[in-house]
Structure 1
Amino acid sequence: MLWFISALGTAVCFGVNNTLFKWGALQHLSKVCIQLFFYWISFFILLLFTIIKGSFEFHILPILTGALIGILNANGNIQMSKAFEKGPASITSTIIAMNTVIVVIATSLLFPQSIPLTNWIGIVIIILAACIIQYQPNKTAHIEYKLWILSCCLALLSIGTVGVIMKFSTYQHFSMGEMLVSMYGGGAVYLSLLARKEFKKLTAHKIEIKIGILVGILSTIGYSCYLFALKEGPSSVVYPIISLNCIVVLIGSLIIFKERLKKYQLIGIILTLCGIVLTKI
């Protein structure tokens, strides 16, 4: 039962964070700075925790794997924030949640498991939903539309790859503490290189620092619950629960950002949620 609660906790944490990314995009805050601050905060929290607990060990493969996850996740979040600037959060988060297709197909190829019929039905439904959701009858903002779709696809690929590597880490029985510390450490170093010019204007990013701290705390809790849920519970149930973080963003978008969905978009979102569940049954 704890793994189920952990999966729900992950979905809520990720959903709140993605809603904060949308808010930051609307406020024209620095996307890289928010990511930078939250990665460093999470890194120090987890490093301190593992040192106090005395559970941190240094193994090269888990360290490199965690660092790769951190870099991919950082890129995915940055692209997601760019997509939030161009399109509605409710639809954007739903499209990115389709990364479950990548996870299902990749894990079936890399690990000793086959794709059942229900998974294939889910994949077909998700692809159909993607065609419906991204449909744009008004072509007046064609360039903005292309940039939005591009950012959504890049975020989807990055976050989907993260899911595959996370599965690999649990399959190899890597230490959860070691993975998380190296994940945030690798991502923090990578983002520091991207944001090196921003360090000169550090005092001008007070809001980004506050948002980064909040996102960092939620992300630390979310990924800790994520790995625990994958370790203790069936991935066939864990993944769809976590993928439903887009529901949190959808609710936040309707209440906070006053977004309005067209009927065909609502149908697409419902189909996506059904497809996500089917890909993991």
Structure 2
Amino acid sequence: MLWFLSAIGSALVFGLAGLFMKISQMRSGSAGSLLLGLYTAGTLGFWGQALLNHHWTPLDWRIWIAGAIVGLGSAWGNLLFMKALDYGPASLTSPLTNANILLVIAMGAIWYGEPLQPIAAVGVVCLLFAVLLAIRNEGSYAVKSSRWYGLVLLAMLLFFFRNGGLKVTDALGLDNTNVLWSGYLLSWLWFAVSSRKEASGSRSDAESRSSVRAGSRAEPKAKSRAGADVSAGASPARTGFLWGLVAGVCSYGGLQLYASALGEGPSHLVAPIFATNGLVVALGSVLLYRERLTVLQWGAFAFLMLGLVLVRI
């Protein structure tokens, strides 16, 4: 089935977006600049897709209302996700925020009356179990602060506005590419203003520090050379923006595939498959940063594969 392949592709591609966000954080990239880059690439991607489909409808007021709701869930969900990464590991944060699929599944079954076949139901349970195993805390995966739990819970609820909202807009007959375009554009405007204020504040702080240094005694030459070497490196804003562009391309691709799968397949099957994108982040962290893969996470991947097979049957 085409929807099944689209759902798997959405999980893989969207998972890469989360991994690139983690890489940016590990390289001290600015979170605001990263999200600005993400929504820059995403907005252009969805706009280009709408033009290619000959279905760009910027004058439809329903698109802007739906885009505002979906965009709110996406923008603030990603912002809280990035903040949560400061207090807990990505291998826990990403799968747990994807627990919003429970709400999507419930909405599909109760609101839209989507039937759930017994074998497919077992597959859904396996996929959910894979996500639950992935968020289990073991050894080096300790959470740094209790604030992490609140951030993850809020991010999970906001992501439901994005993922569940796309199901609602599809049922209403709206073109989800246009909805995502408007949502990403509104999010881009938000982070553009936010990044400008952040940059202005950074410049003011830098000027203040320069004034203080100018009135103080000269530093030793060796120390000055060291400072010059540091300033020569890529700034946090530049690092975040570049990785954000890459993440934005994957975010566009993943959500476009997800929207396509929702349009052709049942949400109570598409949503659990899409939610496994968090395991891509976990595996990437293991490969790139040599994080130890726990027995529970190996079990998560096993249940993931079993769940995909059963859902497909």
TM over 0.5: yes
**Cα contact 1:79–1:151 (8 A) shared by 2:** yes
Q: Which amino acid aligns with 2:153?
A: C
**1:94-173 to 2 correspondence within 5 Å?**
94-113=95-114, 133=135, 144-173=144-173
Unmatched 5+ stretches in structure 1: none
Structure 1 position 8 matched with structure 2 position 8: yes
Instruction: Provide, for residues 104-161 of structure 1, a one-character-per-residue CA deviation record: whole Å limited to 9, x for no partner.
Output: 23444443457888869967995998599455799xx88x331222222122111123
CA distance in 1, matches of 2:195, 2:133: 35
Aligned 1:38-49 pairs, distance under 5 A? 38-49=38-49
Structure 2: distance between partners of 1:131 and 1:78: 25
Residue 88 in structure 1 maps to residue 89 in structure 2: yes
Look up the match of 1:195: 195
The CA distance in 2 between the partners of 1:39 and 1:84, in whole Å, is 19
Aligned alpha-carbon RMSD (Å): 3.6
Give the TM-score, by structure 1 length: 0.81
Shift in Å at residue 262 of structure 1?
Answer: 4.6
Do the aligned partners of residues 259 and 210 (structure 1) sit closer, same or farther apart at CA in structure 2, a change above 3 Å counting? same
Alignment partners' CA distance in 1, 2:86 and 2:132: 19
Q: Which amino acid aligns with 1:65?
A: A
The change in CA–CA distance for 1:134 and 1:154 in structure 2 (over 3 A counts) is farther
SS of 1:56's partner is coil
C-alpha distance in 2, partners of 1:15/1:43? 18
Structure 2 equivalent of residue 72 of structure 1: 73
Change (3 A) 1:280 1:145: farther
Which whole-Å CA distance do the structure 2 matches of 1:67 and 1:146 have between them? Answer: 31
Is 1:218 matched with 2:219?
Answer: no
| Matching residue within 259, 263, 268 for 1:236 | 268
How far does residue 11 in structure 1 lie from its aligned partner after superposition?
0.8
Amino acid at match of 2:252: T
AA at the equivalent of 1:76:
G
Structure 2 residue identity aligned to 1:234:
P
Counterpart of 2:91 in structure 1: which amino acid?
S
Partner of 1:182: 182
CA distance in 1, matches of 2:306, 2:87: 26
Moved more, 116-125 or 16-25: 116-125
* Cα offset, 1:167, TM superposition: 1.0
Q: 1:234 to 1:2 in 2, by over 3 A?
A: same
In structure 2, distance between residues paired with 1:67 and 1:80: 19
| Contact in 2 for aligned 1:14/1:222 (Cα 8 Å) | yes
Count residues with an aligned counterpart: 278
Which digits, 9 at most, give the CA deviation of each residue in 1:48-67, with x for residues without a partner? Answer: 44346542122212221122
Residues 90 and 274 of structure 1, relative CA distance in 2, 3 Å threshold:
farther
Q: How far apart are the structure 2 equivalents of 1:105 and 1:52?
A: 34
Inter-partner Cα distance in structure 1 for 2:72 and 2:287: 32
Aligned mate of 1:256, from 259, 281, 288: 288
Instruction: Output the amino acid matched with 1:165.
Output: G
What is the letter of the counterpart of residue 170 of structure 1?
Answer: D
Is the deviation greater in 197-206 or in 263-272? 263-272
Do 1:243 and 1:276's aligned partners in 2 also have CA atoms closer than 8 Å? Answer: no
